[in-house]
Amino acid sequence: MLFKLLKAERMKLRRSPVWTAFILMPIVPAVLGTVNYLGNSEILTSEWYSLWTQHTLFTCYFFLPIMIGIYCSYIMRLEQNNRNWNKTLTMPSPKWMVFTSKLIITAFMILISEIWIGALFIISGRLIGMGGALPLRETAVWCLFGTLGGTVMAAAQLVISMLVKSFALPVGLAFAGGISGLVFLVKDLGHIWPYSLMAYGMNSNSPQQMMESGYVPFIIICIVYIALFTAAGGIILSKKEM
Amino acid sequence: MIRLLKCELIKMRRRYVFLSLLAVTAAGLVFSLYGDYSGPGSGFTIKNGWLLFLYQLPLVNGIFFPIAAAVTASRLADAEHKGSAFKQLFAAEKRGRIYDAKLITGLVTMLLSVLIYWVVILVFGIAVGFEGEPPMGLYLRYLACIAAPTAVIYFFQHGLSMLFKNQAASFFAGVIGTFAGVFSMFLPQFPALRNSLPWGLYGAMQFIGLFGWTQETRYEFAYFEMMHTEPAAYAAAAVYAAVFYALGKYMFCRKEI
Amino acid sequence: MKETVKTHSLTKEYGAIECVSRLDMEVHEGRIYGFLGPNGAGKSTTLKMLLGLARPTHGEIEIFGKRLTNRNRLGILRNIGSLIESPSYYGHLTARENLKIYQTILGLPEKNIDKALQIVRLDRQQGKKTSAYSLGMKQRLGLASALLSFPKLLILDEPTNGLDPAGIQEMRELIRSLPEQYGMTVIVSSHLLSEIDQMAEDIGIIANGRMMYQGPLNMLHETDRSKTLEEIFLSLTGKDVSL
């Protein structure tokens, strides 16, 4: 059933150019972050790590959270428009699965943009003649963990967008969430606050951060949050009165 | 026009437009004011607080006022898109006036938010005990320098939100623009980039600079001073405002419903 | 005769307001049940409760001889097609793509889409974006998606809304043919007496959330031959009926 729902969700997003934004957005920090790196190369001495920070610092605190917020609002808006909930909820599919399929679609979008961010990072590093071996393994790990942390955020945003029928307000909350993520990270609580997990996973402000605490707790926390928000989403959907 | 503005106010009821704006302003304030004001390392901050803010805040403003503008514009326009109410409104009123009435409503809300932000910043500075009197002249200039780019960006967001039913379009445009604007502020070697991006104007209009900071001595010999700003920034703001307004209104009036 | 839908004392309260009040509904298999009532009488709310889109405050629902519970809801839904309130559609997609979504979820063969489109006569315009459809075309699309699985039970809420007179006539004939052709049971609601009169075999009249009359339509005609149906309706509901 989940597979069928996923196929259906994918069809709903046909002909909507929303995904292009996820391709365009990472180009901004890639180009300007690289230029900034070159301009400050005497201060930024950790080479690849410094470049990674330049590429991802603003991305994962502000811009990717907002993009995820917009995407989740868009996905929920599709159902809120033209009474589509009526039809979606009278299909013979469990409600939590309806929520999960939307979450997986969003997670996939996050994964695509993370891969793109990683690719742009490697390419721009190469282009400016960065020395040493390509940090392929690290980049892959950061991007995968970023996706996982981003999925937590997406799950929260989907719940919010489902409850708040406005398009803009949840986006505003995603923005506030991103800021809260920054605050919690500074307070060393980044590994437990849902809106910090993406930045934490991507290691955007200190590359060794994750190594200290280990991967396993991070993955467990992400999965617990995703499960919690999915359960909440399912419950809200089944209590929903059309 | 007054009648239309009243209508806008009625439509804002129960939509918490102002409340959500306050929330975003509050988030922006948390983000702006978060820092160390009493610890052992805070001496420099307390001593130079007033100028430090004028140096630091434009970047923060350049992130959250554009996002707040996108949120506000979208919320106001979405009320009509969602109920397909433009059809009815168009039958009752000239399109240009509808466009203007919503624009004024949103713009006033945004400028109010800027004002609240500015007042809280001043009160905060006094409360934590920044050295000396707040330099009111500089702060009034700062107020103008955040209000102007915010207004320009609001013209832009308003146009997109009114034109496109799908609010994701205006948001994505705003987010990508903001992103480019923020980066432009980190690239002092390319002043043209800041001046030519509406979102970079926050940086272009910044008039306090940090001097004497080096990697070795850090803040020991650092000081703040007025710095040169390009007049082009002010011209760009005026041109952008006019173009966004005229183009948005023109296209809205010709839009097929 | 077997009952496809049966409710016992079905009640829905919103706060202190009783929107549907102790409703006992009986819909017989293979029949067309006309659910008649003025606007705001509780028709849509009742139909939504049958579909699980709203939860009853009290009472029970039996569909296909089984009590509707959270557990068997999905199995029951599999055999129901519905069009509630106004039609659902994704405006940026074509009619065919819209139906493809439901066909995928329901796991139906592709040919069902062609057949449904043909029945509602949208086959020629299936490639057009639905946001550009007229209200009548959207209504037809809504019907097509309800018919897609050729379900045992079809629930249609005001299906003739927005159709032109020719379209209304066509829709009536179509609905009338469904039990015979596909063995469906149909519940169709309307606030128009004349419409129900021409379509339904059984009728339930609801006003202020209460069932005022339920039974075969011809019985209603026979109860009081001196009165017109409009007069009977008026006396039952206390409301003037729009024709």
Q: DSSP H helical segments within A25-83, as ranges? A: 27-39, 48-58, 64-80
Q: Which residues, numbered 51 to 80 in chain A, qualify as contacts with chain C under a Cβ-Cβ cut-off of 8 Å?
A: 78
Return the structure tokens found at C134. 């007229």
CB atoms within 10 A of CB B79: 16
B62, burial (CB in 10 Å: exposed 0-12, middle 13-18, buried 19+) = buried
ipTM: 0.87
- Give residue A39's pLDDT: 84
Kindly list the partner chains of chain B, i.e. chains with 3 or more CB atom pairs below 8 Å.
A
- Give residue C243's pLDDT: 41
Among A26, A107, A35, A36, residue whose Cα is nearest residue A59: A26
Among A130, B70, B176, residue whose Cα is nearest residue B184: B176
- Mutation site for A-interface testing, chosen from C70, C99, C101 by largest number of A Cβ within 10 Å: C101
Domains of chain B by residue range: 2-253
How do residues B106-164 score in pLDDT, each as one tens digit? Answer: 999 999 999 999 999 999 999 988 988 899 999 999 999 999 999 999 999 999 999 99
C192: DSSP letter? -
Return the structure tokens found at A164. 């708040």
Return the structure tokens found at C149. 């699985």
How do residues C164-191 score in pLDDT, each as one tens digit? Answer: 888 889 889 999 999 999 999 999 999 8
- Characterize C164-186 residue by residue with b for buried, 16 or more Cβ atoms within 10 angstroms of its Cβ, and e for exposed: eeebbebbbebbbebbeeeebbb
- Give residue B78's pLDDT: 86
Q: Which residues, numbered 57 to 116 in chain B, qualify as contacts with chain A under a Cβ-Cβ cut-off of 8 Å?
A: 63-64, 67-68, 70-72, 74-75, 78, 82
> What confidence category does residue A208 fall into, taking pLDDT thresholds of 50, 70 and 90?
low
Distance (Å, whole) CA A202 – CA A190: 12
Per-residue pLDDT, averaged over A126-144, amounts to 89
Per the CB < 8 A criterion, the answer to whether C153 and C185 are in contact is yes
Domains of chain A by residue range: 2-239
Per-residue pLDDT, averaged over C21-50, amounts to 93
Amino acid at C218: N
Distance (Å, whole) CA B184 – CA B22: 28
Percent of chain A with pLDDT over 90: 57
How do residues B42-66 score in pLDDT, each as one tens digit? Answer: 788 888 889 999 998 999 999 889 9
For residue A78, the chain C residues in CB contact (below 8 A) are 90
Per-residue pLDDT, averaged over A108-122, amounts to 95
pLDDT of residue B39 exceeding 80:
no
CA distance A223 to chain B (A): 28
CB contact under 8 A, B74 and A175: no
How do residues B149-197 score in pLDDT, each as one tens digit? Answer: 999 999 999 999 999 988 999 999 999 999 999 988 888 788 888 888 9
